[in-house]
Each structure stands twice: as structure tokens, then as C-alpha cells.
């Protein structure tokens, strides 16, 4: 069998045979990798007969002629329908605002330009199709917040308040928003709040959720919604007082213990809430009704996941459930939901508490003076065994995992253990799953950060169980997805940030900039060579500026080589390389030291102390032309420890560290306050200069 036929199938399936790596070198996918990934796409490719059958399965001859349920277009531009209809075909168009238009396609079979963004209904030649017409750009930071905007980023679980029970919650987030606003912040970026698995107490990475449509209910603050008296009564009845106080005193989040205690408390509150006469009952019922099928499916999944255990008593992947329960539309699922109505309703109740808490936090942010407020974080995918994959099976790739090839962030590549959308599945279903996900993550925020924004154009997909080097890029309908993202951002009046670190496809950053989507530039990566750091003035005007991210060291930790010690401790570096690693870090540190000192108008020969280096780093990014500067709270406080070490699970406390003080006053420490004042002055000086 020739590789030519295999390549033809791979390209027809949307795979990139050739690509350029992070070092600018040309790469080509190996035949065995293509076969394995194609198999994960449901396209056998072991033999010539397999390939022929798979090509037939793709319907290559008539695929372009079929009319999808949703088409995207741009405001003010004609829409080419020549692939589907002849010129002069009559149509009827109902705009989202209720306006009707009856006309015909022009001589080129183009639909006349539509000047109103929105979701419009087109009836043409016995077909009905939704037209998603996008404005030219997402709302920009300058439009929403003016020049010189800045903010902070926090790990939600890390926040503290008295009575939090061992984990950051939406009430602590409210306090944090007010504290940040008091220091002049326009935005507060938060770690993902996606729904996790109630039955998997040890799975807590916010980037490996069960669903990106709903929320992690462990972050809810029931007292802020239901009142303190019902909360205290429930705590007493559960006998959880001592345990909650113990968890609250820990330096690290004990996720399994927190989850067990919080779920017991939530179930008691749900029982009390359902006894009748609660003034909030109508609000809960309204929330549940508005959540529709998607919310019902998530709640049913959670109840099924708890009930359908293995013979050994463990929760199972939904594909291992009895056949009738693997399809959310099966009547057996409906019967289960009726028989277990309380179990299903409990999960809706927990979602309601979390949604209302996030809503309160955004109101607190905006009413305290933030011009953007909360910035949500959208993970790149979800667990293939989770509720989103179960409820949207036709729109996800459950047999492939997502990751990254070797790049600047990780020289071994990465496999993230999550699944992503199916490009053709999205098209066939009118991008339903994508649109509802965007709406869910913009519902209670003034902005959204998209993790690994390159996924809008292509994703590195890997067969389940294979290493990152056995992956290949799968292409996505970028223009359609950008239009939908732009439209939803416009409807929600939200800014969009795209994390574009790693292997960047040619032309992507230009497309993002044209749509008003900010990229991301990180102090430790902005170099021209190994130790020559770019001056602040040379940073991009089309990207946010930040000192660090959750996946790399804090400035203080990096400056002191603390991350090198950790890498040796967890086995990423050999002990005998310590001196070599420290020598390389000394060269890098000297380079950054020069850049920081030159930015401050000081000689760069004398090495800054760690705390002074953090000060200088925060001021430095304030001087960049970035429309938005975001400082992680870890750097605002000068902390040494980083949030997450990618690829390390057991030997580093990923996603567990808590902040050292109550969120109400977290930023008020004199050292932190001084740093933030320097940042404010740097932003003002930049935009007041002639």
C-alpha cells in the first residue's frame, strides 16, 4: 500500500501531514502515527481496502454540496451561497430583531450583505438555516476599559476567608474583587471553574473537567445565597464544624477531604431547601428551566455516574455503563431521572448556588469600579468520560486525547488526557456545543481567556495511551469559530484573550489581532536569544502582558533557581546537572536583570535582590504597549512556589497551594501595595507621555 493513498485519506480527514515545529524546523507525520490517529477518528487505514472504505465514509464526492444547519458570515459582507444554490434563488430572511426580508440571490449566488450582527433565520429552496453574522471585531480592552488597563489573576481555590472550609469560594472571590478594585485593578482573571466529577474526588486539575458548560460546585458559597443561619444549622446537623475548621487551617487544599465534606453539607442544605416555603424556590426553578436540556443532562450524568458503579464499587466511564444508559436520549435515562428525581435535582441545586455566586462576584467587581471585572478561563478540552462528552457524543472526539508537540513550554511534548470537539461534528450540529460553551463561560464575566487558543485552528491529537510524539495536527474551521466567538463576545460585551504560547501556526496571530482577540506575552519568554530579553517598548500591541503563568515559575522562584531544585526533586533533571542548570540560569538572570534595570533607568551590572527583581518585573510589564497587563497574585505577593508543574502528578502539589492571607486584605501588605502602585504609575506614565 502506497503512502500516497494514506496521505490522501489523512488530508481528507483534516490532518496536517507537514508542519513546522517551535524551532522553525519542517516536520512530517509518520505513516504509523497517521494510521493510529485515523483509527481514533473512526477511519480504518491499515489496508488499501480500509482506506477506500474510509474515503467513502467521508462522503468526499457530495460533502461540499450539503447545506449545514448553520452558516457564518461577516457584518456588511455578502455571503457566497453558490456551493448550495443557483443565482436568483428566492429566499426569506428573518433577522434576530424580528425584521423580515424577501429577496433573491444575486447573479453570483451571493446573499446580500446583512448589517445587523446576530443569529438570523434563512429560508431558501425548502431549506432552513441559521445565519450567524459576526461584527468585525470582539470588544477591545480599550473600548471597554480605556488605555492603561491592568488587572490580577488568581487561582480561585487558593483564596481564603474565614469559614471557607478549606477551599476558595465565590464569597472569597467577591472580597478579592473588591480588594483588587480598591488598588485600581480593572480586571480579575480566575482559574477555570468548570464542572468536575462528584465521584472522582482525586481528580481536581481545573483543566481536566467533566464539562466546560457547568461549574465546579465545590467553589460555591452557600451562605452568601441561602443565608448564614441555614448554613450554620446544616453544618451543626452534619457534625462538620471541626472538620471544616481543620481543613481551613491547612496550607494546601486537601481536595478529597474538602469534596467529601462539601458534598455532605450541600446535600443537607438541599434537603432543608426542599422542605418548602423557601423564598428562593422560584429563583431555583427559574434557573433550572433556563438551563434546559444541557443542565438536565449534566445533572442526570452526575446521578448516573454515582449509581452505575463497577462490580468492585468504583465509578465507571460512561462507555462501560449498561447499553441503555450510554445514550442520554434513551428512554431508560428518562426513567432513571424520574425514579431518582431527588438525586438529579440535588446537582441542579448545587449548580444554582455556584452560578448565583459567580453572578454576585461579577457584580461586586463591577460595582467596586472594575471596568472589565472577572475574566473566566476556558480549558482546551474536557475528560472523554465526562458529562459533556456523554451528552454531546456527536460533537466530540472521545477516542483521541489532546496535547502539544515538543515546544518552548515542554521539550518532551505534552498529553493532557482530555478530548476535544470533532470539526465535522460541530458543523453537522450547527456548532451547538461550541456556542453553548462560549455562552456558559461568558455568562458571569467581562472577559474570557481561551487556553491554548491555537485549538481554534488546529489541535495536536494523540491516540489514547500513546505518547505526545505519536500525535498529529487536526485542523478546525477557524473562520467559522472566530466569527462565532466574535459574535458571542459582542453580545456579552466581553474582551477575549487567547493563550498563544507554544507552536504557533503561521498567520494565526494576525487573524486573532484582526478580530480584536489579544494574544499573550510572558516576561520570561520575551527574548531575542537565550539571555537577551526584549525591551518593554518592543512588546506586542496585540497581546496582554504578564510576568508568569500557572505552568511556569514565579518571578521570585525563577530568580532564585527554586524551580531547578523542584525539577531535580521530581526527577525532571538529574542531580549531576545542577551546576550546569544553575550556571545557565545565572546567564539568563543577568540578561533579565539588564533589561529590568535599563527599563528603570539604572545601571544593569549589579544583580537585583529577589524582592527588588519582582518589583522591577511588575513595573516593566506596566511599561509595555500591551492593552492589558495582568499580574498573577503570586507575583504581586512575591511568592516563590509555582502553581503547577506540567507532567508531574504525585510529587508536586499542583493546584493545591493557598494564599497566605484573607482575600479581603490580601493585597494590602505594604510590599504588595507598593508593587501595585508602581504598576499603576507605569501604566499612567506610558499613556501620558507625549
- The string of pLDDT tens digits covering residues 463-493 is 988 888 889 999 999 999 999 999 999 999 9
Residue 1 has a pLDDT of: 47
Cα gap 95→160, rounded to integer Å? 48
Cα gap 324→332, rounded to integer Å? 6
CA dihedral 213, 219, 224, 229 (to 10 degrees): 120
CB burial of 273-285 (b: ≥16 within 10 Å; e: otherwise) equals: beeeeeeeeeebe
Contacts of 198 (CB under 8 A, 6+ apart): 217, 259, 263, 302, 305, 306, 347
**pLDDT tens digits along 652-687:** 999 999 999 999 999 999 999 999 999 999 999 876
Of the given ranges (7-21, 32-46, 396-410, 571-585), which has the lowest mean pLDDT?
A: 396-410
Residues 217/350, Cβ–Cβ less than 8 Å: yes
Pairing of strands 495-498, 447-450: parallel
**pLDDT tens digits along 373-426:** 999 999 999 999 999 999 999 999 988 999 888 776 666 788 888 999 999 899
Residue 503 has a pLDDT of: 85
Residue 60 has a pLDDT of: 56
**pLDDT tens digits along 319-369:** 999 999 999 999 999 999 999 999 999 999 999 999 999 999 999 999 999
pLDDT tier at 462, thresholds 50, 70, 90: very high
* 197-201 mean pLDDT: 95
Residue 647 has a pLDDT of: 82
Is the pTM above the cut of 0.75?
A: yes
* 556-571 mean pLDDT: 96
Residues 253/169, Cβ–Cβ less than 8 Å: no
DSSP letter, residue 382: B
Q: Is the predicted pLDDT of residue 232 greater than 50, yes or no?
A: yes
* 204-224 mean pLDDT: 97
Residue 61 has a pLDDT of: 43
Q: How is residue 577 written as a grid cell?
A: 546537572
The domain segmentation of the chain, as residue ranges, is: 76-134, 141-688
Of the given ranges (223-237, 269-283, 496-510), which has the lowest mean pLDDT?
A: 269-283
Question: Where is 36: in which H helix or E strand?
Answer: helix 31-40
| Beta-bridge partners for 63 | none
| Beta-bridge partners for 215 | 194
* 536-540 mean pLDDT: 96
Q: How is residue 57 written as a grid cell?
A: 465514509
Cα gap 478→480, rounded to integer Å? 6
Q: For 141-688, CATH number?
A: 3.20.20.80
Q: Please identify which residue in the block is written with the cell numbers 446544616.
A: 234
Residues 140/492, Cβ–Cβ less than 8 Å: no
Q: Is the predicted pLDDT of residue 612 greater than 60, yes or no?
A: yes
CB atoms near residue 465 (< 10 Å): 9
**pLDDT tens digits along 139-165:** 999 999 999 999 999 999 999 999 999
| Beta-bridge partners for 92 | 102, 123
Query: Quick one: 335 exposed, middle or buried, by C-beta within 10 A (0-12, 13-18, 19+)?
Result: exposed
Residue 689 has a pLDDT of: 54
Per-chain mean pLDDT for the chain: 94
Residues 89/125, Cβ–Cβ less than 8 Å: yes
Amino acid at each position: 500500500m502506497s503512502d500516497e493513498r494514506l496521505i490522501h485519506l489523512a488530508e481528507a480527514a483534516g490532518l496536517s501531514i507537514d508542519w513546522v515545529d517551535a524551532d522553525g524546523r519542517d516536520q512530517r507525520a509518520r505513516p504509523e502515527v497517521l494510521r493510529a490517529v485515523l483509527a481514533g477518528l473512526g477511519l480504518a487505514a491499515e489496508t488499501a481496502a480500509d482506506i477506500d472504505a474510509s474515503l467513502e465514509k467521508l462522503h468526499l464526492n457530495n460533502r461540499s454540496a450539503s447545506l449545514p444547519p448553520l452558516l457564518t458570515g461577516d457584518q456588511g459582507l455578502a455571503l457566497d451561497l453558490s456551493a448550495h444554490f443557483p443565482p436568483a434563488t428566492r429566499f426569506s430572511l428573518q433577522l434576530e430583531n424580528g425584521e423580515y426580508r424577501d429577496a433573491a440571490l444575486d447573479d453570483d449566488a451571493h446573499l446580500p450583505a446583512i448589517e445587523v450582527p446576530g443569529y438570523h433565520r434563512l429560508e431558501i429552496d425548502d431549506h432552513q438555516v441559521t445565519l450567524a453574522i459576526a461584527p468585525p471585531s470582539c470588544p477591545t480592552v480599550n473600548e471597554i476599559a480605556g488605555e492603561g488597563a491592568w488587572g490580577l489573576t488568581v487561582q480561585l481555590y487558593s483564596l481564603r476567608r474565614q469559614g471557607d472550609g478549606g477551599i476558595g469560594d465565590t464569597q472569597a472571590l467577591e472580597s478579592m474583587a473588591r480588594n483588587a478594585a480598591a488598588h485600581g485593578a480593572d480586571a480579575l482573571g480566575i482559574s477555570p471553574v468548570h464542572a468536575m466529577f462528584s465521584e472522582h474526588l482525586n481528580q481536581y486539575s481545573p483543566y481536566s473537567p467533566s464539562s466546560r458548560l457547568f461549574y465546579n460546585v465545590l467553589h460555591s458559597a452557600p451562605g452568601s445565597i441561602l443565608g448564614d443561619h441555614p448554613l450554620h444549622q446544616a453544618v451543626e446537623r452534619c457534625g462538620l464544624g471541626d472538620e471544616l475548621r481543620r481543613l481551613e487551617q491547612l496550607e494546601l487544599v486537601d481536595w478529597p477531604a474538602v469534596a467529601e465534606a462539601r458534598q455532605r453539607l450541600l446535600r443537607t442544605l438541599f434537603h432543608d431547601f426542599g422542605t418548602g416555603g423557601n423564598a428562593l424556590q422560584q429563583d431555583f426553578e427559574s434557573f433550572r428551566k433556563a438551563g434546559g436540556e444541557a443542565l438536565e443532562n449534566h445533572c442526570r450524568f452526575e446521578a448516573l455516574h454515582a449509581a452505575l458503579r463497577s462490580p468492585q464499587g468504583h465509578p465507571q466511564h460512561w462507555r462501560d455503563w449498561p447499553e441503555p444508559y450510554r445514550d442520554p436520549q434513551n428512554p431508560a435515562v428518562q426513567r432513571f431521572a424520574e425514579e431518582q428525581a431527588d438525586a438529579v435535582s440535588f446537582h441542579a441545586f448545587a449548580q444554582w448556588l455556584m452560578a448565583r455566586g459567580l453572578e454576585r462576584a461579577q457584580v461586586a467587581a463591577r460595582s467596586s469600579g472594575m471596568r472589565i471585572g472577572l475574566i473566566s478561563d476556558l480549558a482546551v478540552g474536557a475528560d472523554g468520560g465526562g458529562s459533556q462528552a456523554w451528552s454531546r457524543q456527536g460533537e466530540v472526539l472521545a477516542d483521541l486525547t489532546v496535547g502539544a508537540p515538543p515546544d518552548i513550554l515542554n521539550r518532551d511534548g505534552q498529553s493532557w488526557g482530555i478530548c476535544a470537539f470533532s470539526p465535522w461534528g460541530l458543523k453537522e450540529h450547527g456548532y451547538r456545543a461550541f456556542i453553548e460553551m462560549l455562552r456558559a463561560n461568558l455568562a458571569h464575566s467581562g472577559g474570557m481567556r481561551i487556553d491554548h487558543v491555537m485549538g481554534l485552528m488546529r489541535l495536536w491529537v494523540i491516540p489514547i495511551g500513546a505518547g505526545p510524539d505519536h500525535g498529529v495536527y487536526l485542523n478546525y474551521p477557524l473562520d467559522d469559530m472566530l466569527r462565532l466567538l466574535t459574535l458571542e463576545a459582542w453580545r456579552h460585551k466581553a474582551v477575549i484573550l487567547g493563550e498563544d504560547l507554544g507552536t504557533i501556526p503561521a498567520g494565526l496571530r494576525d487573524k486573532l489581532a484582526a478580530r480584536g482577540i489579544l494574544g499573550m506575552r510572558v516576561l520570561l519568554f520575551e527574548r531575542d536569544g537565550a539571555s537577551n530579553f526584549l525591551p518593554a517598548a518592543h512588546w506586542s500591541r496585540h497581546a496582554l502582558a504578564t510576568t508568569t503563568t500557572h505552568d511556569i515559575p514565579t518571578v521570585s522562584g525563577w530568580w532564585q533557581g527554586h524551580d531547578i531544585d523542584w525539577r531535580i526533586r521530581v526527577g525532571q533533571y538529574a542531580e549531576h546537572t545542577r551546576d550546569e542548570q544553575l550556571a545557565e540560569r545565572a546567564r539568563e538572570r543577568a540578561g533579565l536583570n539588564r533589561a529590568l534595570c535599563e527599563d528603570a533607568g539604572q545601571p544593569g551590572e549589579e544583580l537585583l535582590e529577589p524582592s527588588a527583581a519582582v518589583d522591577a518585573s511588575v513595573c516593566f510589564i506596566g511599561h509595555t504597549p500591551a492593552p492589558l497587563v495582568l499580574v498573577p497574585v503570586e507575583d504581586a505577593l512575591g511568592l516563590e512556589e509555582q502553581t503547577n508543574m506540567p507532567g508531574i502528578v504525585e510529587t508536586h502539589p499542583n493546584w493545591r497551594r493557598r494564599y497566605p492571607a484573607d482575600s479581603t486584605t490580601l493585597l494590602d501588605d505594604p510590599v504588595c501595595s507598593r508593587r501595585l502602585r508602581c504598576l499603576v504609575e507605569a501604566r499612567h506614565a506610558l499613556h501620558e507621555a507625549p
